[in-house]
């Protein structure tokens, strides 16, 4: 038989974009659909995370995701003696008849004739054709990328020309999280989303910049300079505060204010979160409250003094505290001497200044300089500032509800190493746990950045509205990311198969369904922001009303 005649009977494998992927052969709503691939489709081109559309017989379009790819054979002897030539005569005879590909599709949404998008509550019929999702299908589900409050974050896998936009108004409505193991680009994802919030003016940001990566500039892994948010939005919308002016000066970071915290402003609640790091026992932690009552506002300074304090001597003589307990507290608090941003009395009110900026719509980044390497400093300052900011927001929101003021702007507080603040043993007692559970009751939410989501209290994780997750390989971390989210068992394989760079799974409040994206290139953000930049002469009018 001639080669051309053979091709007529058993065509060579080729990828046909417009033809169906295959047909539904079995499945269920809870376990997903089994789809037998058409013989002409190349299975190698179908990756988990890809979107498909099942065109139902009643005009419905079932929008789903490929969550598994399988090879099937009808005869066991083929597995024992496969053809030597993968594109030879026997292979072409077998393919599509005795061997075939199968994909597992998880249906997530249904689009009816009117364009309404609803959760999938049924499945298509047997033999219904399955197609690659088109850009139009994706737009019908995820909405217009140019609409107000929406921000382009990346493209679906295998669809490089299709843009996916995040609904940032829904993103800031509830606390959110960015997760991924070290080296997967969490900082890039965080900076990109923060830039979107600034660009679309959906909230005001307070960013605790542990490693000085969000303010003026930083470097990527190839040692190339990357513009920070202050440099990207140079029109006055972003302000940089610092705990370490010398470090900021050496790095060429342009800062607006050096933060100093007075010992006389510290409360026992500010130091309580340091108990695991300072080694405070429960008895010593409880003693802090008594010492504050007896020693007054200068209680920390008096505990750190080397000279004998008459009031401390009286406390010991009265048996209010054991001498060993007091000595241990003083030794452990002596670690505060390392932090030069702590002073006897701060002449300026850092909290008031931050609030003034936030109330005016200016986003605040607090650089830690060399103190970013000291976890104790990061926890102390983040806790100190957040507690007072939250208290101010509660008062303003209550006044607004009582008709006595204006509603405060939505505020997003970004913290790194979030599991240190939200550990199960302390999350219920910290301001960060309170904010995460409040679900924007007082217009304050968290953006938590962490490589160990399993270290975060499960109750807090269940309240995280939107989760942006890069590659995770620890089973406990993967389980934690999906905690509190229904129907995610099929997505575990998708998450485990992400590439280490520029890929992320987004699920939750800000997207209609889970999506795997290849994140946009940061340089394209420069041009987009540049087109929107405000003339500096007009910045004050825009920012301050």
Q: Name the domain boundary from 142, 159, 186.
A: 142
Span between the terminal Cα atoms of the chain, in Å: 82
Nearest to 153 by CA among 196, 183, 110, 91: 196
Residue 239 and residue 290 in one domain: no
- Structure-token match 């402003």, residue found: 265
Task: Decide if 229 contacts 363 (C-beta within 8 A).
Answer: yes
> What would the two tokens of residue 318 be?
């009265």
CA distance 291 to 216: 42
Q: What is the pTM of this model?
A: 0.86
Q: What is the pLDDT of residue 157?
A: 81
Q: Name the domain boundary from 338, 364, 392.
A: 338
Does residue 438 fall inside a structural domain? yes
- Structure-token match 């053809």, residue found: 83
**SS3 assignment for 41-110:** CCHHHCCCCCEEEEECCCCCEEEEEEEEEEEEECCHHHHHCCCCCCCCHHHHHHECCCEEEEEEEEEEEE
Task: Decide if 238 contacts 216 (C-beta within 8 A).
Answer: no
> What would the two tokens of residue 466 be?
């939107």
3-state secondary structure of 459: helix
Does residue 539 fall inside a structural domain? no
Residue 101 and residue 220 in one domain: no
Q: What is the pLDDT of residue 341?
A: 95
Phi-psi region of 71 (alpha: psi -120 to 50; beta: other; left: phi over 0): beta
Does residue 161 fall inside a structural domain? no
Task: Decide if 191 contacts 178 (C-beta within 8 A).
Answer: no
Task: Decide if 225 contacts 399 (C-beta within 8 A).
Answer: no
Does residue 228 fall inside a structural domain? yes
- Phi (first) and psi of residue 415, to 5 degrees: -130, 140
Does residue 70 fall inside a structural domain? yes
Nearest to 385 by CA among 265, 514, 227: 265
Does residue 343 fall inside a structural domain? no
Residue 307 domain boundaries:
263-338
> What would the two tokens of residue 144 be?
């217009």
Residue 370 and residue 427 in one domain: yes
- The total of other beta-carbon atoms located within 10 Å of residue 433's CB is 22
Task: Decide if 455 contacts 188 (C-beta within 8 A).
Answer: no
CA distance 374 to 247: 14
**SS3 assignment for 109-142:** EEECCCCCEEECCCCCCCCCEEEECCHHHHHHHH
Q: What is the pLDDT of residue 10?
A: 45
3-state secondary structure of 384: helix
> What would the two tokens of residue 524 be?
């394209």
Q: What is the pLDDT of residue 16?
A: 40
- The total of other beta-carbon atoms located within 10 Å of residue 404's CB is 9
3-state secondary structure of 288: helix
Residues of the chain short of pLDDT 70, as ranges, are: 1-18, 96, 221-222, 486-487, 530-545
Per-residue burial over 37-76, b if 16 or more Cβ lie within 10 Å, else e, is bbbebeeeebebbbbbbbebeeebbbbbbbbebeeeeeee
Does residue 166 fall inside a structural domain? no
Query: Would the CA dihedral through 8, 14, 16, 21 be positive or negative?
Result: positive
Nearest to 20 by CA among 7, 45, 39: 39
Q: What does the pLDDT look like over 199-218, one tens digit per residue? A: 999 999 999 999 999 988 87
Residue 277 and residue 329 in one domain: yes
Residue 14 and residue 136 in one domain: yes
> What would the two tokens of residue 445 be?
């939410």
CA distance 8 to 316: 99
Residue 181 and residue 316 in one domain: no
Residue 255 and residue 269 in one domain: no
Return all residues near 134 (Cβ < 8 A) that are at least 6 apart: 53
CA distance 309 to 320: 15
Q: Which residues pair with 167 in a beta bridge?
A: 150
Q: Report the DSSP pairing between strands 99-111 and 61-73.
A: antiparallel
Residue 104 and residue 191 in one domain: no
Residue 15 and residue 104 in one domain: yes
Residue 226 and residue 273 in one domain: no
Q: How many domains does the chain have?
A: 3
Residue 427 and residue 506 in one domain: yes
Q: Which residues pair with 179 in a beta bridge?
A: 450, 469
- Structure-token match 């399993």, residue found: 454
Task: Decide if 81 contacts 99 (C-beta within 8 A).
Answer: no
Residue 404 and residue 517 in one domain: yes
Q: Name the domain boundary from 95, 126, 142.
A: 142
3-state secondary structure of 354: helix
Which long-range contacts (C-beta less than 8 Å, at least 24 apart) are formed by 249-254? 251/212, 251/216, 251/217, 252/216, 252/217, 253/212, 253/215, 253/216, 253/217, 253/228, 253/367, 254/216, 254/230
Q: What is the pLDDT of residue 116?
A: 83
CATH of the domain at 236: 3.40.50.300
The string of DSSP letters for 325-353 reads HHHHHHHHHGGGGG-TTEESS-SS-HHHH
Nearest to 384 by CA among 262, 242, 203, 257: 262
Does residue 155 fall inside a structural domain? no
Q: What is the pLDDT of residue 320?
A: 87
């Amino acid at each position: 038989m001639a080669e051309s005649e053979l091709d007529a009977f058993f065509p060579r494998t080729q990828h046909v974009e417009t033809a169906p992927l295959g047909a539904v052969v079995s499945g269920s709503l809870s376990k997903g659909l089994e789809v037998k691939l058409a013989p002409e489709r190349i299975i190698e081109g179908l990756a988990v995370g890809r979107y498909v559309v099942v065109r139902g017989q009643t005009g419905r379009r079932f929008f789903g995701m490929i969550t598994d790819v399988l090879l099937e054979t009808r005869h066991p002897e083929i597995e024992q003696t496969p053809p030597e030539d993968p594109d030879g005569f026997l292979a072409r005879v077998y393919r599509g008849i005795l061997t075939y590909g199968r994909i597992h599709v998880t249906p997530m949404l249904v689009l009816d004739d009117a364009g309404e998008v609803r959760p999938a509550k049924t499945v298509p019929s047997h033999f219904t054709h399955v197609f690659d999702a088109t850009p139009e299908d994706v737009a019908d589900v995820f909405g217009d990328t140019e609409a107000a409050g929406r921000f382009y974050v990346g493209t679906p896998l295998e669809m490089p020309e299709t843009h996916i936009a995040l609904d940032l108004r829904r993103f800031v409505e509830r606390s959110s999280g960015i997760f991924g193991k070290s080296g997967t680009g969490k900082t890039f994802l965080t900076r990109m989303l923060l830039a979107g919030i600034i660009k679309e003016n959906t909230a005001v940001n307070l960013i605790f910049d542990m490693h000085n990566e969000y303010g003026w500039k930083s470097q990527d892994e190839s040692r190339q300079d990357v513009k920070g948010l202050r440099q990207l939005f140079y029109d006055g919308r972003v302000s940089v505060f610092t705990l370490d002016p010398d470090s900021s000066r050496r790095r060429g970071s342009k800062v607006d204010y050096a933060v100093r915290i007075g010992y006389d402003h510290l409360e026992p609640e500010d130091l309580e979160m340091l108990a695991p790091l300072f080694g405070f026992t429960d008895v010593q932690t409880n003693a802090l409250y008594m010492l504050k009552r007896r020693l007054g506002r200068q209680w920390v300074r008096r505990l750190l003094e080397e000279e004998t304090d008459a009031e401390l001597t009286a406390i010991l003589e009265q048996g209010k505290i054991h001498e060993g307990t007091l000595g241990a507290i003083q030794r452990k608090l002596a670690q505060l001497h390392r932090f030069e941003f702590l002073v006897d009395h701060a002449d300026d009110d850092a909290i008031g200044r931050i609030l003034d900026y936030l109330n005016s719509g200016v986003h605040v980044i607090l650089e830690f300089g060399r103190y970013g390497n000291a976890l104790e400093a990061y926890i102390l300052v983040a806790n100190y500032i957040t507690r007072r900011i939250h208290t101010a927001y509660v008062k303003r929101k209550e006044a607004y509800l009582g008709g006595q003021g204006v509603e405060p702007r939505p505020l997003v507080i970004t913290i790194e190493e979030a599991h240190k603040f939200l550990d199960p043993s302390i999350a219920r007692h910290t301001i960060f746990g309170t904010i995460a559970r409040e679900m924007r009751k007082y217009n304050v939410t968290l953006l938590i950045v962490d490589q160990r989501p399993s270290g975060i209290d499960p109750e807090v994780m269940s309240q995280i509205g939107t989760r942006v997750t890069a590659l995770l390989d620890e089973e406990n971390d993967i389980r934690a990311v999906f905690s509190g989210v229904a129907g995610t068992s099929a997505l575990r394989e998708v998450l485990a198969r992400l590439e280490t760079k520029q890929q992320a799974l987004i699920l939750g409040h800000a997207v209609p369904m889970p999506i795997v994206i290849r994140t946009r290139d940061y340089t394209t953000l420069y041009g987009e922001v540049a087109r929107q930049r405000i003339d500096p002469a007009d910045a004050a009018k825009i920012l301050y009303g």
